[in-house]
Amino acid sequence: MTQVALGVDIGGTNTKVALVNDGGDVAEMETFPTGRDQAALIASIRDAAGRCRSSASIRGAGVAVAGFINPARDQLSYNPNLDWLVGFPLRDAMADALGATVALEVDSNASCLGEYRFGAGRGSRRFLCLVAGTGLGVGMIIDGALVRFMGECIGDAGHVVVDANGPECPCGGRGCAEAMVSERTIVQNAHSGATLRHVIENARNGNARAVAELAAAGSALGIAMASLSQIFFPDRIALAGGLAEAEDLVIPAAEAEFRRTVNAEARVHVAVVKATLGWRATVIGAAAPLLL
């Protein structure tokens, strides 16, 4: 019987459970609301996992969660949007429910790892991945290993300041990249639809304000990429997440601003690319440590 792994992505709004094979392909997938109850979430994941794995034999499950995790990597240690899950023994409760080994990971790390193993990061020695959607997560892989120094990731790198006179951020700072490129900000400023997907659609249909907002978000991302490059010296930078789906409306603006502001060496040598796995990156990356 073929052995595969489960990839789980616990987000602030929805949770995904997927069966991932050794080629990094998603064979089965279910999505449901995350809710706000620990036991109910575990039960929903267990039930979805049971349907996804069917008769397949699994090596274990990788669980990605939004926010910081503790050094033992067995629970969420910080996320204002999932405060009811903070301090809950998530890894062990999942292992009990699934009867399998469970690895817990920060969601932006999982996306970065998914792209590194199976997508836009393949072959990179120093891979920086920005995941822009509801918020802005950032992961960094050097010589095949995720960089961890705060919250088992690279801290809140999505809150690097890109405009000292920019808007206040929910984190308490001002002009953070996340405050400039989050779905909420883009939707508020674009006045053309209730979700990021709508704004992108309207931009594609020629709505000038939507086009301008997406380009502005791209520029802010480019400055964040330039600032982060001075710390991490990536050889490749990928943009992932829902905003990356705007592609030509965002990435050229990000790349232009990156090249305008970054140091001379990086200006010439660093590639800015679109992530290739789309929404699958997080569940694939969560499962990746369990894949051959």
First to last CA, the chain: 15
Which range of residues in 27-35, 39-47, 155-163, 221-229 is near Zn ion by CB under 5 A?
Answer: 155-163
- Of 262, 195, 184, whose CA–CA distance to 225 is shortest? 262
Is 60 or 173 the residue whose CB approaches Zn ion more closely?
173
**Residue number, 23 or 155, with CB nearest to Zn ion:** 155
Asked if 117 contacts 288 with a C-beta cutoff of 8 angstroms, the reply is yes
CB of 215: closest distance to Zn ion in angstroms?
A: 21
Q: Identify which of residues 115 and 156 has a Cβ nearer to Zn ion in the complex.
A: 156
- Of 135 and 285, nearer to Zn ion (C-beta) is 135
Cβ of residue 167: shortest distance to Zn ion, in angstroms?
A: 10
Q: Within 13 Å of residue 38, how many CA atoms lie on the same side as its CB?
A: 14
Among candidate residues 118, 92, 106, 102, the one with its CA nearest the CA of residue 146:
106
Q: How far is the CB of 173 from Zn ion (least distance, A)?
A: 4
Residues 159-178 contacting Zn ion, CB under 5 A: 159, 169, 171, 173, 176
Q: Least CB distance from residue 168 to Zn ion, whole Å?
A: 9
Nearer to Zn ion, 48 or 176 (CB): 176
Q: In what order do the strands lie in the sheet with 14-20?
A: 26-33, 14-20, 3-10, 57-65, 102-106
> Six-digit token pair at 273?
């690319």
Q: With respect to Zn ion, which residue has the nearer C-beta, 173 or 289?
A: 173
User: SS3 of 214, please?
Assistant: helix
Smallest gap from residue 46 Cβ to Zn ion (A): 35
Torsion angles phi and psi, residue 32, rounded to 5: -150, 160
How many residues bind Zn ion (CB under 5 A)? The answer is 5
Spell out, one character per residue from 113 to 152, where the chain touches Zn ion: x when CB under 5 A holds, - when not.
----------------------------------------
Contact at 8 Å (CB) between 58 and 45? no
Binding segment toward Zn ion, per CB under 5 A, in 31-39, 153-161, 203-211, 223-231:
153-161
C-alpha distances in Å from residue 40, one per residue of 85, 150, 162: 12, 29, 40
The residues binding Zn ion (CB under 5 A) are 159, 169, 171, 173, 176
